[in-house]
Amino acid sequence: MNSSPQYSSDAAEWDARYSESGHIWSGNPNNTLIDVASDLTPGTALDVGCGEGADALWLAEHGWTVTAIDPSQVAIDRAMLHDENRNVTWKAAGITDLRGTGQFDLVSAMYPAVRKEAHPEALDVLLELVAPGGHLLFVHHVVDEEALAERPHFAGMYLPDDAEQALAARPEEWELVAAEDRQRQIEGGRGAHHTVDRVVIGRRRA
């Protein structure tokens, strides 16, 4: 299924990146997503920044009703090529485009590239999209001095520490389930050289 709501301001940039080659990512679902989702009862899921669709397709294969968004229409079109009538709704959209459109039992943000200055409401919207009793999974590479030297733009992006602080500031509404570093193993694809991730998991109180 495909829908075409308002594009985010990053659409042209990401279309250009995805157009550089046939595939950017490994084509395999992220292990952290598998570990977390496998412990949950399947329901509705939102895959934020779905890229070429590996995580969304894995979720659908395991019983989830999935909405997958990415600012790049090129990425969405590529993901849809691998969707063999699985229960995924694909949307070329950013996080804030979904404000007020519904809530999900699982919201997964794996390595989101969302600039704080361009999207100041994005983190608040991300939390709003989690249904009562649902879970937020926010993962990014550990951003230390070495990572910032290599990718200085990380400093202006939403990172797991931002999500952790937002959850901790709302103890009456959120339980902080995990905030930890995890080893990462992946073969192929852009970003494969990053070996440690920061993982934040929150559960919205029912």
pLDDT tens digits, 164-184: 999 999 999 999 999 999 986
According to DSSP, residue 120 is labeled T
Low-confidence ranges of the chain (pLDDT < 70): 1-9, 22, 25, 144-149, 151-154, 184-194
Distance from C-alpha of 126 to C-alpha of 160, rounded to nearest angstrom: 12
Give residue 86's pLDDT: 74
Map 78-107 to HEC letters: HHHCCCCCCCEEEEECCHHHHCCCCCEEEE
Give residue 23's pLDDT: 72
Angle 185-188-192 from CA coordinates, rounded to 5°: 50
Give residue 5's pLDDT: 40
Other beta carbons within 10 angstroms of residue 2's beta carbon come to 14
Q: Which of 131, 110, 120 is CA-nearest to residue 54?
A: 110
- 200, 179 Cβ separation under 8 angstroms: yes
Distance from C-alpha of 108 to C-alpha of 136, rounded to nearest angstrom: 6
The label of the residue with tokens 């659908």 reads 60
- 12, 75 Cβ separation under 8 angstroms: no
Q: What is the CATH number of the domain that holds 200?
A: 3.40.50.150
Q: What are the tokens at 129?
A: 């999209």
Q: What are the tokens at 84?
A: 């063999």
User: 3-state DSSP call for residue 171?
Assistant: coil
Give residue 192's pLDDT: 47
Give the domain range for residue 28: 2-204
Spell out the alpha helix ranges (H) of the chain: 11-19, 31-38, 54-61, 73-80, 122-128, 145-150, 160-168
Handedness of CA 197, 148, 190, 80 (dihedral sign): positive
Counted domains in the chain = 1
Q: What are the tokens at 174?
A: 């959120």
